[in-house]
A = this chain, B = another copy of it.
Amino acid sequence: MPKVGMEPIRRQQLIKATMAAIDEVGLADATVMRIARHAGVSAGIISHYFGGKDGLMEATMRQILNDLGEAVSARRNALSTTSPRAHLEAIIDGNFDRSQVTGPVAKTWLAFWASSMHQPQLQRLQNVNDRRLYANLCHQFRFLMPREQARDAARALAAMIDGLWLRGALTPEGLDTDRARRLAREYLDQLLQSHDARSSRPSHEPQPES
């Protein structure tokens, strides 16, 4: 059976098998044997390609975060406008991208989320991702409102996205992607309208400084 150049194939297989196993029985019961069985290989191979279980877990989380980042980037790059609203909508849509929201990925994500509280390696990845979402949102809001307001808007929209996502992952029926996207977009509308209403009044409106 052994052929050359199996490494990238096996790595991919095992990462996918990890998500399947976590989706099936949860992180706590996702043993190396179970994961290996899912991939149709022996348990030892995990240590061979990933150095151990931890390595596989980290690689799996990396993959998820990477996919998410690319889903967002792809939608933003497809835009021909620099309109902040369009970019904010792209960020929302990217976060509710199909590939991110499918059962196995969603559950794996949440499992890692929880365990990242106590695993420094995962925590680092988690934080990078969190900050990226916040920074992206904040940057776009800055075109539309003063700094502090933009920060709050970014914080709130980030919370809304994560909250919808979390509730979706937990309900037995899974996330209703269309509804989640719609609610997040409606919230974005409200944020922008709310600012328009405030800034169209004759008060001082501090424009974004550079």
Contact = CB atoms under 8 A, between A and B. Distances in A.
Number of copies of this kind of chain in the complex:
2
A70 interface: no
Interface in A42-71: none
A152 to B, nearest CB: 6
Contact of A159 (B28, B119, B130, B163): B163
A26 B167 CA distance: 22
B162 A156 contact: no
Interface of A: 25-29, 107, 110-111, 113-119, 123, 126-127, 130, 152, 155-156, 158-164, 166-167, 169-172, 179, 183, 186-187, 190-191, 193-194
30 contacts: A26-B115, A26-B117, A27-B28, A27-B114, A29-B118, A111-B117, A113-B114, A116-B170, A127-B171, A127-B172, A152-B183, A152-B186, A155-B179, A156-B160, A156-B186, A156-B187, A158-B167, A159-B163, A159-B164, A159-B166, A159-B167, A162-B163, A162-B167, A163-B163, A163-B164, A163-B166, A166-B166, A190-B191, A190-B194, A193-B194
Contacts of A27: 28, 114
Contacts of A117: 26, 107, 110-111, 169-170
A152 B26 CA distance: 30
Contacts of A126: 170
A114 B111 contact: yes
Best-buried of A158, A159, A162 by chain B (most CB within 10 Å)? A159
Nearest to A169: B117
